[in-house]
């Protein structure tokens, strides 16, 4: 029961709605532990197709690219976000997220975030289907701290350190199927480059961003007898912001992502089940750093399948007077790697002291349980709050 539940959560979160069509195109998503780390936490990026590596800096940059914080105009701020998850299937799975930053001078900033992913309440049943009278509340959380620094007028870099805990115990504390809480330590390395471009209507901005996140130890649910890779991810992005006049501007953004963990292996033609089991175990037992390098060339289908593991997304944001925002975007993942294909829409409203954002997901894939997912974010500018209190 417990193992089945854990695997089902991985598949729902990472590969929701996927359908295999032909043997050569069979379903083979890249699975990891703690899949909640890949869920977009904030409504601004969620309204633009889950892009954020190079978008204009905001309070939620901790997840997308903490190197952007040193380009923030305000010296400090914090935000809260809430996302009901898989709401078409269940009503009590959700992600709560909080983040904040502080620029303690013109060149440096520190930031932090906390995410809590609740898998709701689960009634447990034994093998014969009888209610065990036990209700579990599995969850995953991550806390991180980051430091970012301006390296030149246009270029910055950042490092982040993260503690991860995943508790899938399901309320069973004894027996052969007991699962212990898993713990991991990870880090991010990020950089951001932004340059102004003079145009006839004002000053445009061209930006590029890179974030390699969750570089860290594997996670275990059986006291290190076996372990699973956490979702180490490479994110590259670009953004172009163009002003129409003093009040109206638009930004066009794009990201590509690739999980830097070994691809799931498939049984080869003529390979026995025993030989496949040994090869798969050896493949998954490699270390985290070896897994990062191996991830670029280990897909069973060769180079063509490696390209399928790249996810891409695009997003557009229109801003009026830097107070009212309308957003849209699209996210694409290959059908054999998870089939997450969806459009997004979002709106935002900003005053001196706070910003409110909302986003909505519209699935482009058949029978996608992520369809109609909502996100809400509320951010506060500490400068605005201080001016209000004077």
Residues in the chain: 390
Structure tokens of 331?
Answer: 């996210």
Residue-averaged pLDDT of the chain? 87
CATH number at residue 331: 2.40.160.60
Q: Record the pTM.
A: 0.87
What is the structure's pLDDT at 190? 98
Nearest to 219 by CA among 170, 167, 183, 260: 183
| 86-95, 281-290, 313-322: which is most confident | 313-322
Q: What percent of the chain has pLDDT over 70?
A: 87
CB 51 within 8 A of CB 329: yes
Q: Is residue 302 part of a domain?
A: no
What is the structure's pLDDT at 386? 64
Structure tokens of 28?
Answer: 């083979």
Q: Is residue 272 part of a domain?
A: no
Nearest to 264 by CA among 222, 308, 315, 225: 308
Residues with Cβ within 8 Å of residue 138, at least 6 apart in sequence:
5, 119, 122, 167, 168, 169, 170
Q: Is residue 270 part of a domain?
A: no
**Hey, which residues does 47 pair with through a beta bridge?**
none
Sign of the torsion angle spanned by Cα atoms 46, 49, 50, 56: negative
Mean of the pLDDT values across residues 302-316?
93
What is the structure's pLDDT at 2? 43
Q: What residues make up the domain containing 330? A: 2-18+33-263+309-389
Q: Is residue 299 part of a domain?
A: no
Residues with Cβ within 8 Å of residue 170, at least 6 apart in sequence:
1, 2, 5, 122, 124, 136, 138, 179
d(CA 116, CA 267): 36
d(CA 378, CA 80): 5
CB 188 within 8 A of CB 203: no
Q: Is residue 219 part of a domain?
A: yes
**Hey, which residues does 315 pair with through a beta bridge?**
253, 329
Q: Is residue 221 part of a domain?
A: yes
End-to-end CA distance of the chain: 58
Structure tokens of 225?
Answer: 């007898």
Q: Is residue 49 part of a domain?
A: yes
> Furthest-apart CA pair in the chain: how many Å?
77
Q: Is residue 133 part of a domain?
A: yes
Distance of CA 115 to the CA centre of its chain: 11
pLDDT over threshold 80, residue 19: no
Provide the number of structural domains found in the chain: 1
Structure tokens of 335?
Answer: 């059908």
């Amino acid at each position: 029961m417990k193992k089945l539940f854990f695997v089902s959560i991985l598949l729902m979160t990472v590969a929701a709605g996927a359908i295999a069509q032909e043997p050569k195109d069979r379903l083979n998503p890249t699975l990891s532990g703690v899949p909640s780390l890949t869920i977009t936490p904030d409504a601004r990026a969620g309204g633009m197709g889950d892009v954020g590596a190079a978008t204009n800096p905001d309070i939620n940059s901790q997840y997308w690219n903490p190197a952007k914080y040193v380009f923030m105009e305000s010296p400090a701020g914090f935000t809260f976000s809430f996302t009901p998850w898989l709401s078409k299937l269940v009503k009590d799975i959700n992600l709560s997220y909080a983040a904040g930053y502080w620029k303690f001078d013109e060149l440096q900033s520190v930031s932090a975030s906390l995410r809590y992913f609740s898998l709701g309440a689960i009634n447990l049943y034994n093998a014969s289907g009888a209610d065990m009278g036990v209700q579990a509340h599995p969850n995953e959380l991550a806390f991180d701290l980051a430091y970012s620094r301006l390296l030149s007028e246009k270029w910055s870099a950042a490092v982040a350190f993260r503690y991860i805990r995943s508790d899938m115990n399901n309320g069973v504390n004894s027996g052969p199927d007991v699962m212990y809480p898993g713990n991991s330590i990870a880090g991010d390395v990020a950089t951001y480059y932004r340059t102004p471009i003079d145009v006839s209507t004002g000053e445009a901005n061209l930006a590029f961003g890179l974030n390699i996140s969750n570089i860290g130890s594997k996670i275990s649910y059986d006291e290190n007898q076996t372990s699973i890779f956490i979702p180490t991810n490479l994110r590259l992005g670009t953004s172009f912001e163009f002003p129409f006049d003093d009040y109206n501007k638009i930004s066009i953004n794009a990201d590509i992502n690739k999980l830097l963990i070994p691809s799931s292996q498939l049984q080869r033609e003529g390979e026995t089940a025993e030989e496949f089991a040994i090869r798969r175990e050896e493949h998954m037992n490699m270390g985290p750093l070896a897994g990062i390098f191996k991830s670029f060339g280990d897909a069973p289908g060769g180079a063509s399948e490696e390209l399928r593991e790249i996810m891409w997304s695009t997003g557009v944001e229109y801003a009026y007077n830097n107070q009212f925002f309308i957003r849209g975007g699209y996210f694409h993942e290959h059908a054999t790697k998870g089939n997450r294909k969806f459009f997004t829409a979002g709106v935002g409203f900003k005053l001196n002291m706070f910003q409110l954002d909302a986003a909505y997901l519209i699935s482009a894939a058949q029978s996608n349980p992520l369809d109609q997912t909502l996100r809400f974010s509320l951010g506060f500018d500490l400068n605005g709050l201080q001016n209000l209190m004077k």
